[in-house]
Amino acid sequence: MDYNASNAIQDLHNFGEFGGVNPSISDSSTYTFLSAKTMFDTFEGNTEGCYLYSRHSSPSNLYLGEALAALEGTETANVTASGMGAITAVILQLCSSGDHIVSSRTIYGGTYAFFKNFLRRFNIAVSFVDITDEQAVADAITKNTRMVYCEAVSNPLLEVADIAALSKICRDADLPLVVDNTFSPLSIAPARLGADIVIHSLTKFINGTSDAVAGAVCGTKEFCLSLKDVNNGAGMLLGSTLDSLRAASILKNMRTLHLRMQKHSENALFLAQKFEADGLRVVYPGLPSHPGHKLMKEQGVPEFGFGGILTLDVQTPEKANALMEIMQARNLGYLAVSLGFYKTLFSAPGSSTSSEIPEDEQGAMGLSSGLIRFSIGLDSDIERTYREMKACMEELQLLPAKKELV
Ligand code: PLP
């Protein structure tokens, strides 16, 4: 792929108004106009470069949006107060009562709950499909379908979606492909592979310091402006706007995203290989045993690896809880949801981030109650981490017995 996202981010140069190396933070909710006519024109959406009110846009949000558009290679991007703020705005902008969505069945639990429960109130139906089965996706499309929705690498099962193949199905059906790329910033570039709208929870890797909640919608100018429309824009009217102070801090953290993603991926690959060699049930797209490995190699950006998330199935929730507690007690990470922190975070999705998905459906999609999701940190000595994690597993007798040599 010829597009280099980290160069594109690096090449942006925005000075502060006094020559500061970081853009100044816009500390205003409202903006003055020199004439009443310009204010009127701005409300009509006819004055580029004029700011109206910070729920609509602010200089700090625009700077962060520019960096995210560079990251994804889209025309532009809007930033939102959370990943869910981005997802809900996109869905409600594109769908009305009577419409239908085709969605991957393995998606973040909050998105699943929004699709399955909340959209019912608006008479919007969702068909959940196995996103790796392209025929099933095509077959699920009806005359009322308004989009195909998936995660590039799914939470928590790490299924890899074939973005180019899905985008072809969507183009043939004249539908937008909406991809949540929260798990794979830089390592997958969905818009370059044909996705129409790319969503992020910035709360995770992109911010990387677990101190902020934010989201983004990357897409065409036309779509992103429609979200901000004062009369009909779901972003503007539902109010999921990011605060300028946060936008500024996230932009500063984005400067090191390329280095962090490389390290997260390197450490995750190391642990995944070791755990697999130990006979553990590990899932990681960087392992040749992963069903999406070949696809990830074909559609991914090699220098950023296979991402920082892996899962380990220790078969029962009791064992999973015991392992997470002992690892936390030995300072190998935190028993916490979310991802992309410098420290390893682990949680059992079945009882946390995917608990919105009913148990029988969790079972049908292969989400076991003993599954632990790891967001691997930036540990400088990952071999030491591995040794200490292995010692925890040995203590809990989680490692399969070595076969007797005959
Ligand atoms: N998308 C994915 C893949 C997620 O994992 C999450 C949160 O865990 C979200 C979206 C929602 O993001 P936020 O918590 O920023 O609203």
What pLDDT score does 132 carry? Answer: 97
113-167: pLDDT as tens digits? 999 999 999 999 999 999 999 999 999 999 999 999 999 999 999 999 999 999 9
Phi, psi of 52 (to 5 degrees): -115, -55
* Residue numbers of the chain with a pLDDT score lower than 50: none
Name the DSSP letter for residue 92.
H
Residue nearest to atom 12 of ligand 1 (CA): 83
Contact indicator for 335, 328 with CB cutoff of 8 Å: yes
Question: According to CATH, where is 3.90.1150.10 located in the chain?
Answer: 257-395
Q: Is residue 174 within a helix (H) or strand (E), and if so which, with residue range?
A: none
Instruction: Please work out whether the CB of residue 82 comes within 6 Å of at least one atom of ligand 1.
Output: yes
Taken in order 385, 336, 117, 205, the sign of the CA dihedral is: negative
For domain 5-254, say whether CATH 3.40.640.10 is its number: yes
CATH 3.40.640.10 domain position(s) in the chain: 5-254
What spacing in Å lies between the alpha carbon of 353 and ligand 1's midpoint?
9
**Atom of ligand 1 minimally distant from the CA of 87:** 10
Q: Residue 120: what residue type?
A: R
Confirm if 88 and 80 have CB atoms less than 8 A apart.
no
CATH code at 257-395: 3.90.1150.10
Written as one string, the DSSP assignment of 356-403 is: TS-HHHHHHHT--TTEEEEE----S-HHHHHHHHHHHHHHTT-SPPPP
Residue 406 burial by Cβ neighbours in a 10 Å radius (0-12, 13-18, 19+): exposed
The pLDDT score that the predictor gives to residue 403 is 60
Phi-psi domain of 379 (left: phi exceeds 0; alpha: psi -120 through 50; beta: other): beta
What amino acid is encoded at 380 in this protein? S
Positive or negative CA dihedral for 276, 278, 282, 284? negative
What's the pLDDT score for residue 265?
A: 98
Q: Which of 182, 183, 250, 373 to mutate to test the pocket of ligand 1 (most atoms within 8 A of CB)?
A: 182
From the CA of 404, how far away is ligand 1's center (Å)? 45
Q: What is the pLDDT of residue 177?
A: 98
Q: Nearest residue CA, atom 2 of ligand 1? A: 108
Neighbours of 2 (CB within 10 A): 4
